[in-house]
Structure 1
Amino acid sequence: MKSATRVLALFELFDRLERPASVTEIARALAIPQSSTSMLVNSLIDLGYLTALPDRRVQPTPRVSMLGRWVDGRITDGRVTRLMRELGEETGETILLGIASDIHVVYIAVIPATRAMRLHIPAGTRRPIAASGMGLMLLSAMDEDEIARRIARVNRVAEPEAPQVDMAAALAEIGAIRTKGHALSASRIVPGAGIVCMLLPTADRSQPMAIGIGGQAFEVVEKEAAFAALLRGKIARHFGATESA
C-alpha cells in the first residue's frame, strides 16, 4: 500500500511541477528517504513510466499520459487544461476541477490564484458532496435515485453528533441549481471562501465534472453573475454546442 501511495504521489508531484526533477528533489518533496526514492524511480524507469535525462533528472514518459486516454477525452485532449488556464488568467482567482467520489467531491486539478489574497486548495482536497457548492453542482447531473442513494449514504456514515442532510431541502437546492445552470457557495465549508461552479459537458463513459472559480466569499458573491457568464462562455468556446451538459 505504501509503494502504491508513493507512486501516485510521485506522478502528482510531476503534475504540479510540469518539468523534470532530480531524485533529491523528489525525495524532499515527498518526504521519503533518498534511497527509497532511488529504488522507486529506477523501478518506474524499468517499467517505462519514467525516463532519465542526461542531467540525471527524470520525467514521466508518454506511457503515463496514455493510461487514461480511454476514460475521458475531455482531459486527455487538453481542452480542460486550456479552459482552466484561461479562466485563471482572466480572473486571477483559484480555478478548481472537481469530480464526485462516493460521498465527497475531489478536486483533481487546481490552477492557483495569482492575486495576493487567494485560496490555497491543493489538488486532492475533498469536500462533502451534499454540503458544498461543487458537490451539489455534481449531484445536479445525476438522476433522483442516484442523488437519494448518495445522500442516504452520507447520513448513514455521518458521526453521531453530525446533523443529518435533509433530503427534501437538498433536492430543492439541486433543482434551483439546475434552473440557474450554476452553483454559488459562500462560507459554506471554509469561512470566508466562496466558489461559483458549473458542469462541463459530458462525454460517453465519462462521469460528471464541474469547474469552479474560487475566491474570497464576498467577492465571489458580488461577481456571481459575471463569473457564471464567463464560465458559460468559456465552456461553450472550448466544448462547442454539440455536447450537452
Structure 2
Amino acid sequence: MPRPRRSFDTGGVKSATRVLALFELFDRLERPASVTEIAREMGIPQSSTSMLVNGLIDLGYLTALPDRRVQPTARVSMLGRWIDGRVTDGRVTRLMRELGEETGETILLGIASDIHVVYIAVIPATRAMRLHIPAGTRRPIAGSGMGLMLLSAMDDAEIARRIARVNLAREPETAPVDLDAVMAEVRAIRALGHAVSASRIVPGAGIVCTLLPTADQSQPMAVGIGGQAFEVVEKEKVFAALLRGKIERHFGAGG
C-alpha cells in the first residue's frame, strides 16, 4: 500500500531554501543584481543577504562585478548539465520564448513532483490581461490540466499509485479522487495529444498543454500556453497546433 510522502517544514533548512530562492531570483531577472535589490526581492534583512552572497562568492557560485552587483558563475550552469539535455542545451527556453512572443500569453513548463505539478519555468505574458503564475507554483496532479497531461506519460499502474497517494494525503473533509474518472480523462488526452483546462483550479484561467519529447530516463515535462479561460477554449486548436509545430521545429519530426 502506498504511503503518503511526508511534508517537511523548511524552517530547519532556511539557508538552503534561501540559496535556491536566490538562484531562482537570478533566473527570473536574467541580469546581475545588487545586495540591496536581492534583499528587497527576497524579503530578508540586508545583513543576512550580504552573508549569503559572500558565502556563495567564496564557493565560486557567484561573482562580484566592478559596480558591486553580483551574478551567478558558470559553476551554477554546470550543476545540472547531466540531468536533462532538453533544458541545458537551450531548446526548451527557445521554444518557450517563441511561444510567448507569438501568443503574448503566459508560457509554463511543468514537471510531476509526487502528487503535484510544479511549474519550473515561466515566461510571463506580455498582454494587459494576463495570468500571474511564478515559477515554483504547485498544482494538484489529478486536478489540473498539466497534471493530467503529465499523468498521461506514465503507465496505468504508476497513475494508480499516484492517485492512491493523493487520496492518502487528502484532508478528511475532501472527497477522494476517482481513479476511473482520472483514467477516462487520461485516455482522452492520450488520444488527442494535448490537454485543455478552463477554470479548473483558478476561476477564469485556462491552459492548453502538451508533452515534450522524452529521451533516455529523463523526467516527463509538459509545456503549456496559459491565459483567460474563454480565450483558451476558443483557441484550443490553434494553441495545440502551435505547440506541436514548435516542438517539431526544436526537437525534430520525431518529437
Question: Do Structure 1 and Structure 2 share a fold, with TM-score over 0.5?
Answer: yes
Structure 1 ranges of 4+ moved more than 3 A: none
The match for 2:176 among 164, 170, 174 is 164
Residues 72-221 of structure 1 aligned to structure 2 (within 5 Å): 72-221=84-233
When normalised by structure 1's length, the TM-score is: 0.98
Contact 1:202 1:208 survives alignment (8 Å):
yes
Aligned residue in 2 for 1:23: 35
Segments of structure 1 that go 5 or more residues without pairing to the other structure are: none
Q: What does residue 7 of structure 2 align with?
A: none
Map of 1:7 onto structure 2: 19
Question: What SS does the corresponding residue of 1:10 show, helix, strand or coil?
Answer: helix
Instruction: Write the distance in 1 (CA, Å) between the matches of 2:39 and 2:214.
Output: 38
The share of aligned pairs that are identical, in percent, is: 86
Please report how far the alpha carbon of residue 163 of structure 1 lies from its aligned counterpart in structure 2 after TM superposition.
Answer: 1.4
2:44 alignment partner, one of 25, 32, 53:
32
Structure 1 position 18, deviation (Å): 0.2
Aligned to 1:229: 241
Contact 1:131 1:188 in 2 (8 A): yes
Q: 2:63 aligns to what?
A: 51
Report the TM-score, using the length of structure 2 for normalisation. 0.94
Q: Counterpart of 1:150 in 2: which secondary structure?
A: helix
Can you list the C-alpha shifts for 1:181-219, whole angstroms capped at 9, x where unaligned?
A: 000000000000000000000022211000000000000
Q: Note the aligned Cα RMSD (angstroms).
A: 0.7
Give the whole-Å Cα distance in 1 for the aligned partners of 2:35 and 2:243: 39
CA distance in structure 2 between the aligned counterparts of 1:187 and 1:161, rounded to whole angstroms: 22
CA deviation map 1:22-80 (0-9, x unaligned): 01111111111111111111110010000000111000000000000000001100000
